[in-house]
Homo-oligomer: A and B are copies of this chain.
Amino acid sequence: MADDALFGFLHMEIVAHVYKEQATREDIDKERVTCVSTLELMGFRVGQGLIERFTKDCPTFKDDLDIMKFLCKDLWSTIFKKQIDNLRTNHQGTYVLQDNKFALLTQFSSGKQYIEEAPKYLAFSCGLIRGALSNLGLESVVTAELSLMPSCKFQVVVQKL
């Protein structure tokens, strides 16, 4: 019960801290970019660490889609206590993961009121996905898109080497 709350509270603290520490800077746009990348990078490292622990006793994956399914089911349930609701792909390296009730957004009122605030609460999770995939051999670009809280879409574009 308080278990998933721990991650949620800690995540809130990190976001608040990263933004507060840079609040003294003058250039607002630059600030926003830096904060988002700081959070993204923290997520990346956490994702890397988690997947290493998590796949220790796993069989190998047969292809990229298999990896994505593992991420949407197993990894997502562990971290966010629910699976991704919908996974789509164009079979050319682009995947869209839709979570209709994303755990880190449930604290916000539904609707469009706080939609501008949202990116800072998604950066860590984008990094988390990117880090997890990176450790499984897939370099990717991960972005988040939000239309109506607390629903949210992550787009993963796998980079061909």
Query: What is A's interface to B at a CB cutoff of 8 Å?
Result: 1-3, 5-7, 9-11, 13-14, 17-18, 21, 38, 42, 45-46, 49-50, 53-54, 75, 78-79
Contacts and interface: CB of A to CB of B under 8 A. Distances in A.
A40 B2 CA distance: 20
A49 B17 contact: no
Nearest to A46: B9
A25 to B, nearest CB: 12
B49 A5 contact: yes
A6 B78 contact: yes
Contacts of A79: 2, 6
8 smallest CB-CB distances across A and B, nearest first, come from: A2-B54, A9-B46, A9-B49, A13-B42, A5-B53, A2-B78, A2-B53, A2-B50
Copies of this chain present in the complex amount to: 2
Given A13-B45, A14-B10, A21-B21, A5 B38 contact: no
Contacts of A11: 10
Contacts of A6: 7, 46, 50, 78-79
Which of A10, A14, A75, A79 gathers most chain B CB within 10 Å? A10
A135 B18 CA distance: 25
Contacts of A78: 1-3, 6
Given A17-B42, A18-B17, A21-B21, A50 B7 contact: no
B5 A50 contact: yes
